[in-house]
Amino acid sequence: MGDTRAQLLDLSVDDANAEARMHEVRKWFRDNGWSAPDPQVYDYRHSQEVSDGPGPLLMGQLDPRRPYFVFTFIPGLDVYYLGDSTGGPKCRKCGEELDIDKVARMIQGWLDSGQEPDLTCPRCSWHAPWGRWELSTSLVVASFAVIIDRDWHVPIGQDWRTAVDPYELPRHFVEQLQADLGGHWVFMYFHD
């Protein structure tokens, strides 16, 4: 138990368009007041990438004594996964979880070919591209990610003293990004 992150993945972007998408999405976070440029800020797990600190809208919702909140924007094809207890994708129809060893073996082929595999549920036969499965505790290939780091023990909200699920805001970002910018946004936890 150590690091925790929220991973916001846009599965609609390919490697060639990842850089352009990064600029578009970062502008969205800044324009909406969620993030702000800060050359001092970085995520040590992704120290080569561009990071923003909290923007004016977010600052008002953070504990002013500990306003730590880092957005890191990562273009380029990579594998994203939950971390120390990664599970298989879950069926959206019956909830069945696919065997992690089986799907993990398919990841390299996806990276090499750039072709997203289809998966079939062994229990109910639901059939869909990998990215359409429930992936919040699983793994996937993506060409663009926003990684959020903060002190997850500190609540967030209009009043920072009121306990709120700290992942509510990252999930809200996913919904808003989907509505405003389109694409195919997926939320995934990270625990190491």
Q: Which is nearer to Zn ion, 77 or 100 (CB)?
A: 100
CB of 133 to Zn ion, least distance (A): 10
Residue whose CB is less far from Zn ion, 111 or 124: 124
Closer residue to Zn ion (CB): 105 or 123: 123
**Scanning the structure block, which residue is given the tokens 């997926």?**
186
Is residue 98 close enough to count as binding Zn ion by CB under 5 A?
no
91 binds Zn ion (CB under 5 A): yes
Are the beta carbons of 119 and 127 closer than 8 angstroms? yes
Binder to Zn ion among 16, 79, 94, 163 (CB under 5 A)?
94
Q: Which residues ranging from 24 to 53 are in contact with Zn ion (CB under 5 A)?
A: none
CA gap 151, 107 in Å, rounded: 31
Single out the segment in contact with Zn ion by CB under 5 A; choices: 25-33, 42-50, 87-95, 151-159. Answer: 87-95
C-beta of 121: minimal distance to Zn ion in Å? 3
Say whether 173 sits in a helix, a strand or coil. Answer: helix
Tokens representing 49 are: 């990438």
Task: Answer whether 103's CB lies under 8 Å from 109's CB.
Answer: no
Show the site string, 118-157: x = touches Zn ion by CB under 5 A, - = not: ---x-xx-x-------------------------------
What is the CB-side half-sphere exposure of residue 37 using CA atoms within 13 A?
A: 3
Cα 140 to chain centroid distance, Å, stands at: 11
**Identity of the amino acid at 80:** Y
Contact 48, 72 (CB under 8 A): no
Q: Of 27, 45, 66, 93, which lies in the binding site for Zn ion, with binding defined by CB under 5 A? A: 93
Residues paired with residue 146 on neighbouring β-strands, in sequence order? 8, 73
Smallest gap from Cβ 91 to Zn ion, in A, equals: 3
Residues that contact Zn ion, how many (by CB under 5 A): 8
Burial degree of 88 (CB within 10 A; 0-12, 13-18, 19+): buried
Q: Which is nearer to Zn ion, 119 or 140 (CB)?
A: 119
Residues that bind Zn ion (CB under 5 A): 91, 93-94, 96, 121, 123-124, 126
